[in-house]
Amino acid sequence: AAFDAGEHASYMLKEILEQPDSAERVLRGRLVERFGTAHLGGLNLDARETRAISRVKILGCGSAYYVGQMGASLIEELARIPADAEAASEFRYRNPIIEPDTLYVAVSQSGETVDTLLAVQEIRRKGGRVIGLVNVVGSAIARECDGGIYLHAGPEVAVASTKALTTMFLGFSLLALQLGRVRDLSIADGRRLIEGLQRIPDHIRQILGHDDEYATIAKQLAEAESLFFVGRVRGYPVAREGAQKFKEISYRHAEAYQTSELKHGPLALIEASVPTVAIVPDDELADRNVAALHEIAARGGPLVVVTHATVDLGDLTATRIDVPACERELDPILLTLPLQLLAYHAALHLGHDIDKPRNLAKSVTVE
Ligand code: G6P
């Protein structure tokens, strides 16, 4: 390989541990404290053009698509522009309506994923404006876009994306902040988010310091043939990403679901052999989330709850993983980190090839 995993057992572990540094890099020079905003020079969008945006459509594949969902929430919450994410692979095959006042955002670590690239080309052919959130400088997607944000995550080798994904989330935070401050986000809220963003690298370090704890939990989860990952609203894309990582490298069946939808189907599958990893941030939905988890516990389903120390689980039988609290909008990325390590340790315990899982490629460049 062109890059060396060095002292680390795998690239995935090396890249997980690099996340505080890559988080610092993507933020560096892009926060303008005085005005409570972000400065993204490569967007090629002036204030008037920004104000004219009526919708944001985010496109990516795999983990990039799930982070895109997190990004859509950030943009809706901070900039109050309707936003959603879609798998680029689906988008380009359904003859999508391309609107001139929609901002299209392509997300890709490699910048070479063919489904994402062809979606970008299709949008531009129809006169749409596309910006890229891309890690690899000068890659095909970066070249095709009208502007964008380079992620500066450094080279990522393991198939399961970790540090690139973290920088994608932070890239979306910067984008949402800049769009928000041209629209309705107050300077006070802008500054509050900047302070939150500045704390992220330390929060990441703190979470990574609990690696032993995650290893113990992961070994138990690895014994299960099938698992659920559940979350709602901000927590749902976190659950999707957690399930994706787990299945990619442990080869266990891991399914993500909205916690609110459990009672409409999957509860039928809950029993002692089917664990659930639940994402429960300390937000306005915490009580409802905990109530839903009682339904799982009542059926003997083992529970791992990724949450904040301030969430009261009452008498729920569960293993809890507390992550540091930040600004609520930024919670998703911190909640995602323990899930990377759960997947990593499960795969390690099962003896799988962590960096090159069977049947998967780092970037899918052919149709
Ligand atoms: C492949 C990888 C995924 C990755 C996806 C998108 O399917 O296995 O881990 O998330 O491609 O890659 P990109 O380079 O576009 O972010």
**DSSP states along 141-188:** HHHHSSEEEE-------SSS--HHHHHHHHHHHHHHHHHHHHTT--HH
What pLDDT shows up at residue 101? 96
Which residue has a Cα nearest atom 15 of ligand 1?
Answer: 108
Question: Mutation test of ligand 1: which of 12, 15, 58, 61 has the most ligand atoms closer than 8 Å to its C-beta?
Answer: 61
Kindly state if the Cβ of 161 falls inside 6 Å of ligand 1. yes
Kindly state if the Cβ of 274 falls inside 6 Å of ligand 1. no
Kindly state if the Cβ of 116 falls inside 6 Å of ligand 1. yes
Q: What share of the chain is helix, strand, coil (3-state, %, to 5)?
A: 50, 15, 35
Distance 364 CA to ligand 1 centre (A): 7
Distance 199 CA to ligand 1 centre (A): 28
Q: At what angle do helices 187-208 and 163-182 cross, to 10 degrees?
A: 170
Kindly state if the Cβ of 63 falls inside 6 Å of ligand 1. yes
Distance 116 CA to ligand 1 centre (A): 10
| 214-235 core/surface letters (b: 16 or more CB in 10 A; e: else) | bbebbeebbebeebbbbbbbbb
CA–CA separation, 164 and 77 (whole Å):
23
Distance 60 CA to ligand 1 centre (A): 8
What pLDDT shows up at residue 1? 43
What pLDDT shows up at residue 146? 95
Kindly state if the Cβ of 364 falls inside 6 Å of ligand 1. yes
Q: Mean pLDDT per 10-residue run, the chain (367 residues)?
A: 69 96 98 97 92 97 97 97 96 91 98 96 96 97 97 93 97 98 96 98 97 96 97 96 96 95 88 97 95 96 98 96 97 98 96 88 84
> Which residue, 348, 36, 37, is CA-closest to 215?
348
Kindly state if the Cβ of 159 falls inside 6 Å of ligand 1. yes
Residue 7 exposure: Cα atoms within 13 Å on the Cβ side = 1
Distance 318 CA to ligand 1 centre (A): 33
